[in-house]
Structure 1
Amino acid sequence: MNEGRTDEVGADAGRPGERVPARRVLGLAVPALGVLAAEPLYLLVDTAVVGHLGAVPLAALAIGGIVLAQVSTQLTFLSYGTTARAARLHGAGRRADAVEEGVQATWLAVVVGLVLVLAGQLLASPIAHALAGPGAVADAAVGWLRIALLGAPLVLITMAGNGWMRGVQDTARPLRYVLAGNGFSAVLCPVLVYGIGPFEGWGLAGSAVANVAAQAISAALFLRALAVERVPLRPVPHLMRAQLGLGRDLILRSLAFQACFVSAAAVAARTSAEAAAAHQVVLQLWTFLSLVLDSLAIAAQSLVGAALGSSDARRAKGLSRQITFYGLWFGVLLGVLFAALSTVLPPVFTPDAVVLAQIPHAWWFFVALQPIAGVVFALDGVLLGAGDAAYLRTATLVSAALGFLPLVWLSLALEWGLAGVWTALSCFMLIRLVAVLLRARTGAWAVIGATRP
């Protein structure tokens, strides 16, 4: 780790009354962007590789991918919750305690991951058929899922590692670790799917094997990083219970997200295989850009947590305004870029003319939502860095219940297709926007101290 850089950023976050220079924010955000973008970028490669097998394998990947995403999105407390707790301790000058949060998060990752492996083997078939209905799409998704879910403990270990390293403002090593795994698997994926020489390839199953290979490499590197730190590696039950307390709110928040995105995948799959495939393409781009925007949120988490840990509420509030402004303009730039790519990018993912004809029904919603997403994700990072998970939980549940779920299932009943699915997503984001802006304005989230009461 670059200790000089880490200390400089941490000290800067603790000086009262100063605006944090943009280069400080970027010093955390750019490596975090690489980490956040690596997984969806790999999934985009995976989507492009599988897309050339046909509409059914691509639709199966969409169903399998949305289920596998539950592993990371439903357990975000292992990364975001760990960052919030570690950042406060780091800001208070307690680095060893901050790293110990990572040790306990890793123990939780191993235990929960092994439970998910067992549950995944038992439930892959009923879940896939519940989402896609009977037929070839669900059958193909089952095989992919049973292989891919073997990597669940590895995914969670990587999340825990990212969490504590972000908390101590070390975003460079996680980037190297994640790129090592995903870079290897991006090369491996087309070989395993299509074959090479006498090896005929495994088709869709090959992409799942490549996925697990990426996760194994990254997880091993994060475990090694913990092993060289001078902190105890034994499990500490009271620290794990404290993490689970914060995790409860983040899990409920994630449940709301997943109710929305699983419903969207199910509605698209019930519309047609081509609609499901088109949704998969646009959804992967949405996920990719969401995490690109979230790089600013990672910087906000680390800097806001450190400021509050050093009892500097004024600095934390200033960071909130500053990073929200950055998020807005970043979102505008992404919206303009992907509007310009509307006819160029979709054919990269599939040559199927019917699938390509479906994509514009979702594409322009995706483009228009980027500035809104920039603000929402930036303020999510601020509130998560402050440990204000209870408010975010409630805001997300209300947004899902009022803005997304009624509209998405109504769109199925009224046959609105992908336009209906993405109209529901737009309402969900707009309600979240109002909620986080109101919370940021009150300043009630800026509770100081090495740990949040």
Structure 2
Amino acid sequence: MPLTTETGHGRAHDREILRLAIPAFGALVAEPLFLLTDSVIVGHLPDPALGALGVASAALSALVGLCVFLAYATTAAVARRRGAGDVRQAMRQGMDGLWLAAIIGLAVSVACWPLAPFIVHLFGATGQLAAQAVTYLRISLLGTPGMLLVLAGTGVLRGLQDTRTPLAVSVASFGLNGLLNIWFVLGLGWGIAGSAWGTVVAQSLAAATYLALVVRTARAHGASLLPDLAGVRAAGAAGFALVVRTACLQAVLLVATSLATRMGDDQIGAHTIAARIWTFLAFALDAIAIAGQAITGRALGAGDAAGARAATRRMVMWGIGCGVVFCAAVLLARPLVPALFDAHAEAAAELLAVLWPVALLQPIAGVVFVLDGVLIGAGDQRYLAWAGLWTTLAYLPFAAVAGTLVALWLALGVWMAARLVTLALRAYGTAWMVTGASRTAA
């Protein structure tokens, strides 16, 4: 291939990656801002309201986090059908994803409502703290169907190569959530219950917006709005493997937090700050992964395996580049971080030490996030589930013997390296490059 042609293709890939990734990053950042806004407003209430919010939000985030497959699997399925030129069937699969989200959301709400005190107790909450946490959690559970419909609706639009609309919906929901929380909590004096109701209303309206958009598109292409039981079961089966993958990710992070807590107050304080920095940078890398899901699914659906391979190479380059930039940014900001978070001397020393592995792991994370997104877009969820189990097992022995916070983050580095190896080996091969409108049929 002539150099000018290859360069032209690379630039085309760059434009498409940026077109999808930049709005996706904005939408991803908007999500944690919900919790940040709630924390700022609830912080004006007497203790232990803020602690109760933290406990209930952690429980709710864990529940909803396991259902992120509703966005990822739906993106891959819709993108593949769209790439094959069958938009009607793409919307049919999108509707199946929405029905599955509604079913799971209702089931989670009904099942967890009576279990709310037990769930809160698992986080060690007692007394008034536990009572307020149960109040917040139970009200928030009413919005679970809406939260999951937002995930599925986002997946449908991403599969259609539209990441701008989810950004607009996220920004609008964030703004509405803030206004409602101020009104309900401070204006009407509903306390922590008002914060929960504000978020439920905002999320439910976002879900209604996605429903309207997806239903309108489905009707325009002649897709049925009724549930297809076979399609819903297929979506659930594809999602189960992603649940295993996500559970492994959460298990690693929970183990790290638990071990840091046992090391002492300074260590858990430094770990929490480092984890927040890591999470924020992960949003940017995950935005490229989301672009990878959409681009890979569409290319393979169109039968363009070579295009999927070329786009993967380009996205890996973007991942490495972003990782190097983030590494440099963390190292440059490192002396300023302790003061920014008002860390005292002992915690600051721990934080300054642990920011070294946080920074140096960024280039590896860039490749890992991109390849993870590519394989999700290819519908290679079963491999990702098994890889998640093996990499978690590789991490646990190193975490168990970590006696310092730096050693614990080096154990996380072992985990990231194991993920890099398993994902790179798979991406280098061809088993994931199944073309056609349906991976199963192919």
Indicate whether the TM-score tops 0.5.
Answer: yes
What's the Cα RMSD here? 3.2
Q: Is the 1:256–1:396 Cα contact (8 Å) retained in structure 2?
A: yes
Partner of 2:436: 449
Structure 1 stretch displaced more, 332-341 or 443-452? 332-341
Q: Is the 2:55–2:125 Cα contact (8 Å) retained in structure 1?
A: no
Distance 2:214 2:366 in 1: 33
Structure 1 315/78 Cα, relative in aligned 2: closer, same or farther at 3 Å? same
Q: Which amino acid aligns with 2:431?
A: A
Q: Which amino acid aligns with 2:419?
A: R
Partner of 2:3: none
| 1:373 equivalent in alignment to 2:343 | no
Provide the TM-score with structure 1 as the length reference: 0.83
Partner of 2:118: 126
Alignment of 1:157-168 (within 5 A): 157-168=149-160
Structure 1 133/264 Cα, relative in aligned 2: closer, same or farther at 3 Å? farther
State the shift of 1:126 in Å: 2.5
Structure 1 stretch displaced more, 235-244 or 117-126? 117-126
Alignment of 1:49-448 (within 5 A): 61-132=53-124, 141-189=133-181, 195=186, 202=191, 207-229=195-217, 230=219, 231-269=223-261, 279-342=271-334, 344=336, 359-360=351-352, 362-403=354-395, 405-411=396-402, 416=404, 418-419=405-406, 421-448=408-435
Distance 2:45 2:406 in 1: 26
Q: Is the 1:376–1:436 Cα contact (8 Å) retained in structure 2?
A: yes
Q: Which amino acid aligns with 1:125?
A: P
Report SS of the residue matched to 2:384: helix
Q: Is the 1:329–1:371 Cα contact (8 Å) retained in structure 2?
A: yes
Q: Is the 1:62–1:276 Cα contact (8 Å) retained in structure 2?
A: no
Distance 1:440 1:247 in 2: 21
Provide the TM-score with structure 2 as the length reference: 0.85
Structure 1 119/279 Cα, relative in aligned 2: closer, same or farther at 3 Å? farther
Distance 1:277 1:213 in 2: 33
Q: Is the 2:13–2:311 Cα contact (8 Å) retained in structure 1?
A: no
Distance 1:341 1:60 in 2: 32
Distance 2:306 2:174 in 1: 40
Q: Which amino acid aligns with 1:224?
A: A
State the shift of 1:46 in Å: 4.4
State the shift of 1:375 in Å: 0.8
Structure 1 stretch displaced more, 22-31 or 124-133? 124-133
Distance 1:189 1:340 in 2: 37
Partner of 1:12: none
Q: Is the 1:250–1:389 Cα contact (8 Å) retained in structure 2?
A: yes
Report SS of the residue matched to 1:173: helix
State the shift of 1:410 in Å: 4.7
Q: Which amino acid aligns with 1:447?
A: V
State the shift of 1:110 in Å: 1.0
Distance 2:418 2:310 in 1: 24
State the shift of 1:182 in Å: 1.3
Structure 1 stretch displaced more, 87-96 or 26-35? 26-35
State the shift of 1:338 in Å: 3.3
State the shift of 1:60 in Å: 5.2
Structure 1 176/63 Cα, relative in aligned 2: closer, same or farther at 3 Å? same
Q: Is the 1:41–1:288 Cα contact (8 Å) retained in structure 2?
A: no
Q: Is the 1:86–1:164 Cα contact (8 Å) retained in structure 2?
A: yes
Structure 1 stretch displaced more, 175-184 or 346-355? 346-355
State the shift of 1:278 in Å: 5.2
Residue number among 32, 37, 45 corresponding to 1:40 in the alignment:
32
Structure 1 243/63 Cα, relative in aligned 2: closer, same or farther at 3 Å? same
State the shift of 1:392 in Å: 1.1
Stretches of structure 1 lacking an aligned partner (at least 5 in a row): 1-16
Structure 1 stretch displaced more, 353-362 or 236-245? 353-362
Structure 1 151/360 Cα, relative in aligned 2: closer, same or farther at 3 Å? farther
State the shift of 1:52 in Å: 8.1
Q: Which amino acid aligns with 1:29?
A: A
Matched residue count: 429
Q: Is the 1:304–1:316 Cα contact (8 Å) retained in structure 2?
A: yes
Distance 2:55 2:300 in 1: 41
Distance 1:103 1:163 in 2: 11
State the shift of 1:359 in Å: 4.7
Distance 1:337 1:327 in 2: 15
Structure 1 334/431 Cα, relative in aligned 2: closer, same or farther at 3 Å? same
Distance 2:206 2:322 in 1: 29
Distance 1:233 1:66 in 2: 34
Q: After superposition, give the CA deviation of every residue in 1:16-36 in whole Å (9 maximum; x if it has no partner).
A: x94443112211111112222
